[in-house]
Chains A and B, each alone.
Chain A
Amino acid sequence: MATKTITRRDFLKMSAIVGASGAALELGVPGFRLLESAAVDAAHADTIGGSWIPTVCNMCGGTTGIQAHVLNGRVTKIEPNSFNPVGVCNVSTDYAALKSTGARMCPKGNAGMMSLYDPDRVKAPLKRVGARGAGQWQEITYEQAVTEIAGKLAAIKATHGPEKVVWFAEDNNFTAIQEAFCNSFGTPNFLLHSNLCDVARKVGYEKTLGTGRPLADLRNAKYILLFGWNPLGAMKWVHLPRILVDGLEKGAKMVVVDPRCSETAERALDYKGRWLPIKPGTDGALALAMASVIVKEKLYDAGFVATWTLGFDKLSALVAGRTPEWAAPITGIDATTIRTVARELATVKPAVVDAWSGPGQHMNGTEASRAIAVLAGLIGQVDAPGTMIIPERKGPKFTVPALQQPAPPRVDGKGTKYPFAHSSGVYVEARDAMISGQPYQPKAAVFVMQNFVFSVPNSAKNLQALNNLDLIVSVDTHMSETALMADYVMPGTVYLERYDLYPQWVTFPAVALRQPAVSPVYGQKPEYEFVKDLALKMGYNVYPFNASYEKFMDDALQAGIGISLAQLRALPGATWIGGDTHYRKYQTAGFATPSGKFEFYSQQMADKGLNPLPDYTPSEDGPSAAYPFHLVNWKEALHTHSRTMNNRWLMEFHGENDLWINSDRARGLGIADGDLVWVENQFAKAQAKAKVTRRIRPDVVGMTHGFGHWGLGPVAKGKGTNDSQFVPGKAERISGMAAHKDAAVKVYK
């Protein structure tokens, strides 16, 4: 990558002695007078003219509102769209105040054109010739592809049954039409990627307070305790840096629990908060210990607990034995710190306590997420300003054909082996079924915008699984590692080429339209058209396949929020806003749990033979004598999963990952910064570049996920190291969450 090295000498000359820190909070861009124009040799004279198309980004799943400038059929610039609140903040009062300062857009959104015009994109339908994975292809017509794929799917259904076709989709895009196809085809195996992401958090929160995705009002909190979440780096939504830093500037104290000093932990330290470097997979123990202090010292919100919660006595009995002294050796956080933070959490209000995939992506992830979720109820900080807010969401309601009953059993154990698996299913179990043939042997897989080989933990097993299939179809913009294993590759679209509808992840109802800024660059049909054509070829001459996709969206909007597609398109920023943030909704409607209360004790979990209380159980596959380091992975602002590593601009700024290793441990192993080291365990052995740093626990190594490609494209290939190859790749038994962060390795030069 292009870098400039400034020497220490130069830098020290630049640096000034810091005075009083903390500039006054200044929002907005001060105006300035127009100066006399100089003769400008502008780089972008073509921004004069053309039009701005409001749409929604998809460089990740954050659905930031954007506007694409289009001139002569080409996108020349992408900028934020302030009419979509998700780019600004997450509560309506803040949106009213801040909207005029403009929405924001992350580095990936700024690099969108490099994905749209990436010359390495799949340009035409491809059919495999030669052995699977050999990389030999024949270009075929769209019609031939649809005909052959439909024929093969029909043949598999006739011979083996429809359930032998497993469909894997990215769950942020055009899912309804894909579900419609699967239902018409008769397969119950319609899986979405969430169980690779955050279903432990979803199930943990849903079982506790009735919603799978409460949102933290960070901007208005005075105390922020985050377990394994890095909103300032792995930013799920683009408003997170603004609202969190605003909150810190307004005096909030933040404590970040993470084995690594992430971007968020750094800001906590800079704003006089704390970084608690926890042992991976032990967050549940830490949360229980904090609950223990809050209960014992009677710091809980007695009124809220008495009126709105269920199971306080049982929780109290549990946590009596889960003291800070009990938790300290488990977590690596000393008892005094645990006590101090617990007291602060209970007494500084309003408070946010939240967790994401740090605790979640372990074999005890749902229990850990529940233990953290209950803290909010204990301190009475729920659905109020500055706390964990239950969002009110409204969105399109798509009508799809139902799956005929009785349906064949699912392949992935959702609802049975995994009693509370999320609606997205269990990718790990489906993968394992392809190898073991249990409960039955899948025959075909369709992957739409999914790099299964790279995204499911244990890369070797994924390849083994796919080699057992008769038919693999991959719809993708690039020749991902999964596309390379396919029989047919259909050219996918980049978001700037297609439609979709998005309820926004803010606390008040908002729906945004994604609409094409340009027609597909290679003339390819958008994914939803391919699905419709496949359905029609199979003989499903029914709605929605026999209607236009725009009609499908129009019907869904009318049913869901009572407006038409044309009306949505005409709204400013093509975004509909349906109301304000409402607080303490539980006072009128209760919580959406079986009891209507905030549940410390979950009867529905007891009914399934699970612990009704969020007790701590150790996770699995941690360090051993042979493999002494926990291996973790994380996400960052510059990349999305394994998807963006062929984007030339993003790769300029982060072109390879490195293995973070603690400075003291590195010294002991004779490893210097930048050294190539071996990373090894029973599953894989590969080289990585060492980053020797003070920012990680001594017993933990880790890297950003998604590098180490052997496919995707020439920019991605060979850059960095694939972390997933070292992970055993199990699924957590309650939610089906893929346990990406349960792994151990040895590291040596």
Chain B
Amino acid sequence: MSASMGNVLAMHIDLKRCVGCNACSLACKQENDVHIGGLWAEVYGIESGTYPNVGVRALPMLCQHCDNAPCKKKCDDLGHGAIVQRPDGIVYIDPKRCVGCQQCVSACRYAAISFNPQTLKAEKCHFCMHRVDAGLPPACVITCLAITRQWGHYDQLQATYPNAKAMGDKVKVLYSNLGGEPKSGTDAPTNGYPDPIPFHG
């Protein structure tokens, strides 16, 4: 469980409810006019077990809006300062400062950043900050078919979903029913955890 994150904005996603439909992916694409080839929100699929005792989970992924984000650190170290964290926790890429070096893309362990070959800038989820600033939730939240997503302040969400977990330290997406323990060892090929692939391939 992460320590208190105060009043920053966050998202909760319940993986048990998720049906892997990609409505979130398309809502994001539509709302932010994401270029063809840009992936700000994808849904991965995890299969396990053996026929007919199978396990399948869909895993929606987006930028985790980390504090001390590796992408921001890399961009700062390179002197560009194009990745900015707002007081409310939202991390965004300022296209006016981005030089298109793509170092942030490989710095992100969540594969959340896309490079736009038309604008030659890096891009990623910014929690629909233009909507947020107008008092609206992010586009993915309002479209989700199985009502997996909630939006609000981190502490409020953590209190509402006490068993929700994050994928990393100081990130802003809380997942209920996240993951499962590898069966034996960590990276052993027989631990039943295949590489996550897009749910619909």
**In the complex, chain B residues 147-168 whose Cβ is within 8 Å of any chain A Cβ:** 147, 150-153, 156-157, 160-161, 163-168
Tell me whether B19 and A8 are in contact (CB under 8 A): no
- Proximity bits, A13-49, B CB within 8 Å = 1, else 0: 1111111111110111111101111101111110100
If A4-B39, A235-B21 touch, does A21 touch B142 (CB 8 Å cutoff)? no
Tell me whether A241 and B31 are in contact (CB under 8 A): no
Contacting residues, chain A, for B182 (C-beta < 8 A): 12
A27 contact from B31, B147, B196, Cβ within 8 A:
B147
Contacting residues, chain A, for B164 (C-beta < 8 A): 23
Tell me whether A30 and B55 are in contact (CB under 8 A): no
Tell me whether B21 and A241 are in contact (CB under 8 A): yes
Report the bound CA distance from A662 to B95 in whole Å. 47
Residue of A nearest to B28 (CB): A110
Residue of B nearest to A651 (CB): B36
**In the complex, chain A residues 257-288 whose Cβ is within 8 Å of any chain B Cβ:** 261, 263, 266-267, 269-271, 275, 277
Beyond the given A26-B150, A32-B151, please list 18 additional residue pairs across the A-B interface where CB-CB is below 8 A.
A5-B111, A12-B182, A14-B110, A15-B180, A17-B180, A18-B180, A22-B176, A23-B176, A36-B87, A37-B133, A41-B96, A105-B23, A111-B26, A241-B145, A242-B145, A263-B21, A266-B56, A654-B22
**In the complex, chain A residues 665-719 whose Cβ is within 8 Å of any chain B Cβ:** 691, 693-698
Residue of A nearest to B111 (CB): A4
Residue of A nearest to B164 (CB): A23
Tell me whether A40 and B187 are in contact (CB under 8 A): no
Tell me whether A21 and B177 are in contact (CB under 8 A): yes
- Proximity bits, B99-132, A CB within 8 Å = 1, else 0: 0000000000111001000000000000001101
Contacting residues, chain A, for B151 (C-beta < 8 A): 29-30, 32
Any B CB within 8 A of the CB of A636: yes
A-B contact count (CB 8 A): 264
Report the bound CA distance from A364 to B201 in whole Å. 33
A638 contact from B50, B180, B193, B200, Cβ within 8 A:
B200
Tell me whether B23 and A15 are in contact (CB under 8 A): no
Tell me whether B163 and A40 are in contact (CB under 8 A): no
For A, the interface residue count at a CB cutoff of 8 angstroms equals 96
Report the bound CA distance from A373 to B193 in whole Å. 40
Tell me whether B152 and A275 are in contact (CB under 8 A): no
Contacting residues, chain B, for A695 (C-beta < 8 A): 47, 51, 54, 56
A selection of 22 A-B contacts at a CB cut-off of 8 Å is A2-B114, A4-B39, A4-B42, A8-B193, A11-B196, A12-B182, A14-B168, A22-B16, A35-B88, A40-B133, A79-B142, A232-B19, A232-B146, A233-B19, A235-B145, A269-B55, A270-B57, A277-B51, A638-B200, A649-B36, A695-B56, A698-B51
Report the bound CA distance from A415 to B88 in whole Å. 67
Tell me whether A664 and B51 are in contact (CB under 8 A): yes
If A32-B152, A40-B133, A695-B51 touch, does A245 touch B146 (CB 8 Å cutoff)? yes
Contacting residues, chain B, for A21 (C-beta < 8 A): 16, 163, 177
Tell me whether A102 and B142 are in contact (CB under 8 A): yes
Tell me whether A271 and B135 are in contact (CB under 8 A): no
> Which residues in A have some Cβ–Cβ distance to B below 8 Å?
1-24, 26-32, 34-38, 40-45, 47, 77-80, 101-102, 104-108, 110-111, 113, 232-233, 235, 238, 240-242, 245-246, 249, 261, 263, 266-267, 269-271, 275, 277, 636-638, 648-650, 652-654, 658, 662-664, 691, 693-698
Tell me whether B39 and A649 are in contact (CB under 8 A): no
Tell me whether A8 and B22 are in contact (CB under 8 A): no
Q: A286 to nearest B CB, angstroms? A: 15
Any A CB within 8 A of the CB of B5: no
Tell me whether A30 and B156 are in contact (CB under 8 A): yes
- Measured as residues with beta carbon below 8 angstroms from the partner, the interface class of chain B is 35 or more
Any A CB within 8 A of the CB of B30: yes
Tell me whether A107 and B26 are in contact (CB under 8 A): yes
Tell me whether A275 and B52 are in contact (CB under 8 A): yes
If A8-B194, A648-B36 touch, does A270 touch B16 (CB 8 Å cutoff)? yes
Q: B175 to nearest A CB, angstroms? A: 8
Tell me whether B51 and A663 are in contact (CB under 8 A): yes
Q: A257 to nearest B CB, angstroms? A: 12
Report the bound CA distance from A43 to B125 in whole Å. 12
Residue of B nearest to A32 (CB): B152
Q: A118 to nearest B CB, angstroms? A: 13
If A14-B168, A235-B21, A245-B147 touch, does A31 touch B152 (CB 8 Å cutoff)? yes
If A80-B143, A695-B54 touch, does A653 touch B195 (CB 8 Å cutoff)? no
If A30-B160, A261-B54 touch, does A267 touch B19 (CB 8 Å cutoff)? yes
Contacting residues, chain B, for A245 (C-beta < 8 A): 17, 19, 146-147
- Proximity bits, B3-40, A CB within 8 Å = 1, else 0: 00000010010101101111101110111110011110
- Proximity bits, B68-112, A CB within 8 Å = 1, else 0: 000000000000000000111000001110000000000001110
If A3-B42, A18-B181 touch, does A113 touch B30 (CB 8 Å cutoff)? yes
Tell me whether B95 and A41 are in contact (CB under 8 A): yes
Q: A20 to nearest B CB, angstroms? A: 6
Q: B136 to nearest A CB, angstroms? A: 10
